A and B are shown apart, each in its own frame.
Chain A
Amino acid sequence: MQVMRRRKFCYFCENKIHFVDYKDERLLRRFVNERGKIIPRRVTGNCARHQRKTTRGIKRARIMAIMAFESESFR
């Protein structure tokens, strides 16, 4: 059975975003699931470099209470 491959392009490389600002909650929320956990790059399609930057930004945002460490899961 053939599995459809998801798109595999890096959002930051496509839009030429070099700096991932931890204060930009809207942008970072795309890379976090419903429970607030960071989505792996095999799902998001990020390149390794930007995945590291995104992770760093999300962790900083969590420290500054811009994003939650863990949000309530929908049941």
Chain B
Amino acid sequence: MRDPDPRTVVRAREGDLAAFEELVRLLQADAYAFAWHLTRDRTLAEDVTQEAFIRAFRFLKGFRGDQRFASWLFRIVRNCAMDALRGRTRWTALTGEGPERALTDATARIELDAALRAVSREHREAFLLVEVFGLSYQEVADVLGIAVGTVKSRMFRARKALCDAIADEAEADAR
């Protein structure tokens, strides 16, 4: 995952809109991808991405530079996604719609996506941040607000569950 030039972050913190736009251009694709993985809904992911950058702009002065800017932004994206999903849950409570929804990405690898959906949200988050976005365990810990040891545990459990799911799939295909 790309990280911006620290000088761009400093300028953005000082109110330079052009600098903030550079940050948006650099990171909006990754932010959207993360939001999509969390929400599995294209429209919601767009909303989450925009809200995340608005919050990032609003609270940019609070970014202390003690972590990667991208990690800080991803934490905001995650928070926005959780808020959005809680809001969406209020709609589904009475309609009976389940929390899972059909994949919107027609090009996704069906087996892996199906297996990912079977993994708990907590484990899936950690797995995606490491495997898809290339964050270190410490960075994932910063994003999720958990201990590094917990990240290690969740990564292992997610990986184990996916390995087992794919192995079962392969066995079923072989029969």
- Do A and B pair up? The answer is no
Residues of B within 8 A of A (CB): none
Residues of A within 8 A of B (CB): none
